[in-house]
Structures are given as structure tokens and as C-alpha cells.
């Protein structure tokens, strides 16, 4: 069979299993990416393994989420991470140096490598032909220890691109068009592989935008070939020697295929409250806009910000619209300044912030009550901005800049009556800045790891008992995101290294009393609908509920990363065999599992549970390795057993 590009990379890194869709495989991980919101716990988990040095080819810790320092917590966590990186051999990107995805692509991204990141948007590195995946922090800690990463072998979905994007249309509109077609579950269990003649018209940073937001499709990863555009980007970054040509074999066979003519893509926009609620900008034109933010996790590269600068040059943001710029990296900001892009933004009334995630993770920049916010971010889940009942729209830099000037949602193509389209291209040579990255060095190995009072040890988790008696304490609907399970924002994010404290915010947006009811009840269960746990890779959405006594989650279906995280922390991920049983598992329902441990040890896929005098059958679709994790009470317990601790 002719090999796809994804298939080639998987085969080259395969250490366990066979490349058969749906079967568990283990692959070698070359690069490891961490960010501070998830990396603090991942570092604690790595320490708990008792290994004295990172064993991955390259590991990098970025401080890009918890940048707001309202008290000691974030500053203490940053010092912990910096000293731990020195001690264990990780690269450390200082606060303000930039968003992990942007900086890693600039300074470390290399075609053909695998990467595992404690951030669901890690697949953005597919823009430089890396096979990059998001995962929970514990899986990333294992990769740091040199262990394989395990996942169900994904299908490869080939997207054949033709044509070229029209004026005022950009890469963000491409991924929004795919979200319009396939919604937030369309990529589940798949790698989205882009190929065809249209690929060459997209720059490496265009490709990063599309690959980054492939996470919103639910995709395992997204990848582009490594071609001359890739080579140009790496040459401009001073890293051409790491370039290799990579592409699928001619006539490669994909599990699924689709075609997209780039010339037919229009300006698109994701409306509240899902990245999959996509419409043409022309359909929602005229809605008043109170806030515009360009940059952050995606659309924060040089081309994106310079394009905005050219659109607003000589103009000022509308009097009722707050206009923000979040650069992807310090290097992007330096190049923007060098090319004359800063003054047009300042004179247009833009507030230029430090390089980081900021409002994308709810760390500041929250819109006001009933205000409309247009953002070039990847997500608009309910309340993620920090404002209850928020009205967040996702769009391209061109659409955002136009709205900032007009004060309302406007098809950016209408700007052609006033100015020529700013056809901004990547630079042939970038100003390179890695001065805010601390590289591993032998003389740093003796560094003492500094722990502030907010750094708490990883909690002890008990092994699975023979029988379980549980009460359903909450039932939720379809497409529930990890933001709804474990909120982010300036109040919660600083507690990521303190599971006892952060557990008080589990399901806080849905039921503020959830943690109190769990502690009063004892062992409990949560029931969900389709695609339960979509969105962020945050493992706290599994670990904190487990700390509160959630031993089982029952859903119609689970998102990939969250399901893996549940197994990692000893929480049973059970699926309904009959969707109609969802209604019978209401809040307060008692569930009794008998001989549960024996059933899991025996490899049973059907797990009976007694509910209100009758027996329901639930499905346990996990690998033998994950069964061992559940029995041990979690992956860390199992790893300790295997390592002899």
C-alpha cells in the first residue's frame, strides 16, 4: 500500500503494536512540549518517577499561560519550573518570551519528528511537518522519561487542496470552513493530512494556523508536507540544516478523503458558543462589536500581525471597540517593529500586550457583560473568556481588523473599496531572538529545585476495589468541554500545582456545590453525552474529580485525550451501549458494580451495573495497558510498580 506522510512517520517511530486503525500503538517521542498551566503538575509527576534526567531528544518548558501575577502563586510556580528545568535538562522559555506553539516552531520545529505536548494545540507543529499531538501531563511526563506514547492508531484523512486563497481570505478561513463541514467531532480518531497542488500556496505559518485548530475538529493531529515553503521558513529562521523533504508517496491511499478548492473559500466566522458553529461572515454582518483581539495561541505570527497593521494604518479603531494585540513571541514583536508595524497599531488605538496566551485561556481580557468579542483564538467555549454568558466569535486577522475599524462584524472584502489588500508575505530573513530561552547545560544539573508553598505533592490514589457503590452526582449533555469540567482563568490557573485547592472548582460553572456534594457523598459517578471531555488536554479535568471521589464517568462517547487522562488517574471511562439508558442515570441514581476488578482483569468489554432494580450494560473500550492502569489506581502507580519503586 502506498504510504501517507503520517503513515511514514508513524512507522519510523513505531515501537509497539501494528498500524491498524483503532488498535493501540506505542510510538517513540522525539520532542516534548510543556506549558506552565499543565507543566507544573507534569513536572511533579516526572519527579515522582524517580528519574534524574530527561531522556527525550528535546524537551522544552514554556511559561505562556499563568503570566498574571496577582500574588505569589504564579511567580513561585515559574521559579519551580525554571529550577526543575535546569536540574532535569529541559529548555526553559521565560515568561513573556512567547506562546509555546509559536516559539517551538521558530526555534526547534523539525520536519519528520514526533512531538507530544501537554497542550491540545501542540499539533500546530504540523505546519513544519512534525507529527505533533496533545496529551495529558502524565503521558508527557512518561515521554520525558523516554517511555513510548500510547494511543489508538488513527485513521488518516486526506484533504486534497487545490487553487489559491483569494484577497482578504486567509488560512483561518480554511480551518473554519472545515469546521463548518465536519464540526467538532469530524476529526476524532483521525490525522488530518493536507496534500495536493494548493498546499504550495500556503506558508509555514498559514499551515500552523490550520494544523493548530485541527484540535477543534477533535483530530489526533494534522500535518502538511515538508516542501520548499517549509525550507524557506526554516532558512529565514536560520535553521535550514534541519530541513528534509517529506511527503506522501504518489497515489497514497487515505482512509478518508475530501477536496477543498482554496479559491472558493470565503471569510468565515465561528459564532457562540462552539468552534463548530461556523457561518459565512456575510451572514452575520452588522452585529455590533465591543472587543477585538488578534493573536495569542493562533494567528499571532509575523504575517498575521503585519497584515492587521497594514489594514489599520492611518485609521483608528471604532470609538466603541476595544482593540488588542497579543504577539505570539518576542521574536514576532521584534520583527514587527523592525518592519514598521508597531506605530500603525499604536496610532490605531491598539493595546499591545506581552507575548502569551492571555485572554485565550481566560487570563485577563475578559469582555464586559453582554459584550461581543471577536478573537482570532482557536476556542470560544462558554465562559472560557472569564465572563459568564460571553459572546465570543472566532475569525481571521483580516475580519478582526475590519471589525475593529468599523465597530461591527463586516466582510473584510468590503475594505477593498478603501485600501488595497495587504498581501503580506513571510520575511526572507527573520531577526532571531532566543535570548530568553535557557538551554540545558551540565553546570546546571546541580541546581536545587525551589518549591513555593503552592507546590503540593502529587496525591496518592487508591487501587480499584473489587466492588463499587456509586451515586450519580451530576449529569451533563453533549460536547461538554474540559473548560466546563475544570475551568481556567486568573482565579483557577494559579492552583494547577495544588490539587486539593483546585478541586473546589470542578464543574464550578455548572454547579458551584459539586465539590461539597462529592465530599459528603463519597465515591461518585458523573454521566455525560456525546464527545464528553472535548477541548483542552488539561489532565486536571480527570485528576481533580478523581481526588473528589469520582471513580467512574459514563458517557455516550469520550474525546480521545480526556478518555486517556481518565485511565491515567484510575477513573473508569464507560460508554452507554444503549443511548436510551442516558435518561435513567439521573442525578441521585445509585449504581452498583460487582466483581468489577475481576471483570477488568479478565478483559471484559461489557460491564454490568445494577441501577434501580435492573441491570444495564456499559462498554469498556480500552487497551490491556489501560486496564492495568485502572487496576493499579492510575498510570503513575503502575509506572512505579514497573520501575520497582
Total tally of structural domains belonging to the chain: 3
On whether both 381 and 506 belong to a single domain, the answer is no
pLDDT at 458: 87
pLDDT tens string 558-590: 999 999 999 999 999 999 999 999 999 999 999
Element (H, E) at 400: helix 397-406
Closest to 68 measured CA to CA, from 489, 392, 541, 383 = 489
Q: Look up the CATH number of the domain holding residue 302.
A: 3.30.499.10
Please check whether residue 66 lies inside any domain of the structure: yes
Please check whether residue 450 lies inside any domain of the structure: no
pLDDT at 645: 56
On whether both 479 and 626 belong to a single domain, the answer is yes
For 382-396, give one letter per residue: b (16+ CB within 10 A) or e.
bbbbbbeebbbbbbb
- In this structure, the strands spanning 372-375 and 391-394 are parallel
pLDDT at 384: 94
pLDDT at 639: 85
Last residue of a domain, one of 417, 448, 483: 417
On whether both 257 and 274 belong to a single domain, the answer is no
What is the strand order of the sheet 437-438 is part of? 131-134, 114-117, 31-35, 58-62, 91-93, 437-438
On whether both 164 and 220 belong to a single domain, the answer is yes
Is 272 exposed, middle or buried (CB count within 10 Å of its CB: 0-12, 13-18, 19+)? Answer: middle
Please check whether residue 452 lies inside any domain of the structure: no
On whether both 25 and 102 belong to a single domain, the answer is yes
Please check whether residue 437 lies inside any domain of the structure: no
Last residue of a domain, one of 264, 288, 305: 264
Element (H, E) at 24: strand 24-27
Last residue of a domain, one of 417, 432, 456: 417
On whether both 68 and 100 belong to a single domain, the answer is yes
Phi, psi of 34, deg, nearest 5: -130, 150
On whether both 191 and 301 belong to a single domain, the answer is no
On whether both 500 and 412 belong to a single domain, the answer is no
Cα 388 versus chain centre, distance: 22
Please check whether residue 422 lies inside any domain of the structure: no
Show the cell assigned to 616: 444495564
Residues 6+ apart with CB under 8 A from 613: none
Please check whether residue 302 lies inside any domain of the structure: yes
This prediction's pTM: 0.96
pLDDT at 643: 67
On whether both 296 and 320 belong to a single domain, the answer is yes
Show the cell assigned to 315: 485609521
Which residue segment(s) compose the domain that 57 sits in?
5-264
pLDDT at 119: 96
On whether both 291 and 257 belong to a single domain, the answer is no
Q: Look up the CATH number of the domain holding residue 594.
A: 3.20.19.10
Please check whether residue 440 lies inside any domain of the structure: no
On whether both 404 and 296 belong to a single domain, the answer is yes
Show the cell assigned to 490: 486568573
Residues of the chain predicted below pLDDT 50: 1
Please check whether residue 448 lies inside any domain of the structure: no
For 326-363, give one letter per residue: b (16+ CB within 10 A) or e.
bbbbbbbbbbbeeeebbebbeebbbebbebbbbbbbbb
Residues 6+ apart with CB under 8 A from 452: 72, 73, 75, 76, 77, 79, 80
Cis peptide before 629 (omega within 30 of 0): no
On whether both 378 and 247 belong to a single domain, the answer is no
Amino acid at each position: 500500500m502506498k504510504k501517507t506522510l503520517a503513515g511514514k512517520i508513524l512507522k519510523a517511530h513505531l515501537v509497539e503494536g501494528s498500524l491498524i486503525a483503532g488498535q493501540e500503538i506505542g510510538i517513540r517521542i522525539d520532542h516534548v512540549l510543556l506549558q506552565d498551566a499543565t507543566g507544573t503538575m507534569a513536572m511533579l509527576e516526572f519527579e515522582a518517577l524517580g528519574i534524574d534526567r530527561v531522556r527525550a531528544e528535546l524537551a522544552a518548558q514554556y511559561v505562556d499561560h499563568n503570566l498574571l501575577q496577582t500574588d505569589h502563586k504564579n511567580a513561585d510556580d515559574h521559579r519551580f519550573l525554571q529550577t526543575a528545568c535546569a536540574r532535569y535538562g529541559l529548555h526553559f522559555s521565560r515568561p513573556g518570551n512567547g506562546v509555546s506553539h509559536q516559539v517551538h516552531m521558530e526555534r526547534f520545529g523539525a520536519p519528520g519528528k514526533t512531538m507530544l505536548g501537554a497542550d491540545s494545540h501542540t499539533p500546530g507543529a504540523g505546519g513544519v511537518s512534525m507529527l505533533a499531538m496533545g496529551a495529558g501531563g502524565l503521558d508527557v511526563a512518561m515521554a520525558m522519561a523516554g517511555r513510548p506514547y500510547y494511543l489508538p492508531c488513527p485513521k488518516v484523512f486526506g484533504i486534497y487542496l487545490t487553487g489559491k486563497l483569494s484577497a482578504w481570505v486567509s488560512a483561518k478561513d480554511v480551518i473554519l470552513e472545515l469546521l463548518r463541514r465536519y464540526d467538532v467531532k469530524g476529526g476524532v480518531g483521525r490525522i488530518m493530512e493536507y496534500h495536493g497542488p494548493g498546499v504550495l500556496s500556503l506558508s509555514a505559518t498559514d499551515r500552523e494556523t490550520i494544523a493548530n485548530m485541527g484540535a477543534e475538529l477533535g483530530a489526533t493531529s494534522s500535518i502538511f508536507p515538508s516542501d520548499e515553503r517549509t525550507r524557506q521558513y526554516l532558512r529565514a529562521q536560520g535553521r535550514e540544516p534541519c530541513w528534509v523533504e517529506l511527503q506522501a508517496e504518489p497515489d497514497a491511499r487515505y482512509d478518508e478523503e475530501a477536496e477543498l478548492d482554496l479559491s472558493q473559500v470565503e471569510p468565515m466566522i465561528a459564532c457562540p458558543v462552539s468552534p463548530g458553529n461556523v457561518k459565512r461572515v456575510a451572514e452575520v454582518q452588522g452585529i455590533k462589536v465591543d472587543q477585538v483581539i488578534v493573536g495569542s495561541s493562533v494567528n499571532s505570527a509575523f504575517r498575521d500581525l503585519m497584515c492587521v497593521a497594514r489594514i489599520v494604518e492611518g485609521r483608528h479603531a471604532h470609538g466603541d471597540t476595544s482593540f488588542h494585540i497579543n504577539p505570539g513571541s518576542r521574536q514576532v514583536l521584534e520583527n514587527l517593529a523592525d518592519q514598521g508595524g508597531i506605530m500603525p497599531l499604536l496610532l490605531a488605538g491598539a493595546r499591545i500586550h506581552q507575548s502569551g496566551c492571555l485572554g485565550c485561556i481566560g487570563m485577563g481580557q475578559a469582555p464586559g457583560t453582554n459584550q461581543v468579542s471577536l478573537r482570532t483564538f482557536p476556542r470560544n467555549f462558554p465562559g472560557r473568556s472569564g465572563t459568564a454568558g460571553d459572546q465570543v466569535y472566532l475569525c481571521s486577522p483580516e475580519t478582526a481588523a475590519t471589525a475593529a475599524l468599523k465597530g461591527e462584524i463586516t466582510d473584510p472584502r468590503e475594505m477593498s473599496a478603501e485600501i488595497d489588500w495587504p498581501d503580506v508575505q513571510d520575511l526572507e530573513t527573520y531577526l532571531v531572538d532566543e535570548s530568553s530561552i535557557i538551554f540545558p547545560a551540565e553546570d546546571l544539573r546541580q541546581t536545587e529545585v525551589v518549591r513555593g508553598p503552592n507546590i503540593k505533592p502529587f496525591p496518592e490514589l487508591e487501587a480499584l476495589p473489587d466492588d463499587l457503590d456509586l451515586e450519580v452526582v451530576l449529569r451533563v449533555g453533549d460536547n461538554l468541554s474540559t473548560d466546563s469540567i475544570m475551568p481556567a482563568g486568573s482565579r483557577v490557573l494559579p492552583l494547577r500545582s495544588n490539587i486539593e485547592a483546585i478541586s473546589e472548582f470542578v464543574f464550578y460553572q455548572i454547579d458551584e456545590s459539586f465539590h461539597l456534594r462529592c465530599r459528603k457523598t463519597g465515591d461518585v459517578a458523573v454521566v455525560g453525552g456525546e464527545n464528553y471531555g472535548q477541548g483542552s488536554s488539561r489532565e486536571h479535568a480527570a485528576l481533580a474529580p478523581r481526588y473528589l471521589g469520582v471513580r467512574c464517568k459514563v458517557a455516550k462517547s469520550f474525546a480521545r485525550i480526556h478518555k486517556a487522562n481518565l485511565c491515567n488517574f484510575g477513573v473508569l471511562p464507560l460508554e452507554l451501549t444503549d443511548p436510551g439508558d442516558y435518561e435513567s442515570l439521573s442525578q441521585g441514581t445509585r449504581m452498583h458494580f460487582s466483581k468489577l476488578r475481576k471483570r477488568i482483569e479478565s478483559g471484559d468489554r461489557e460491564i454490568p451495573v445494577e441501577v434501580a432494580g435492573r441491570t444495564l450494560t456499559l462498554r469498556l473500550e480500552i487497551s490491556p495497558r489501560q486496564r492495568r492502569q485502572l487496576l493499579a489506581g492510575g498510570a503513575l502507580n503502575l509506572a512505579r510498580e514497573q520501575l520497582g519503586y
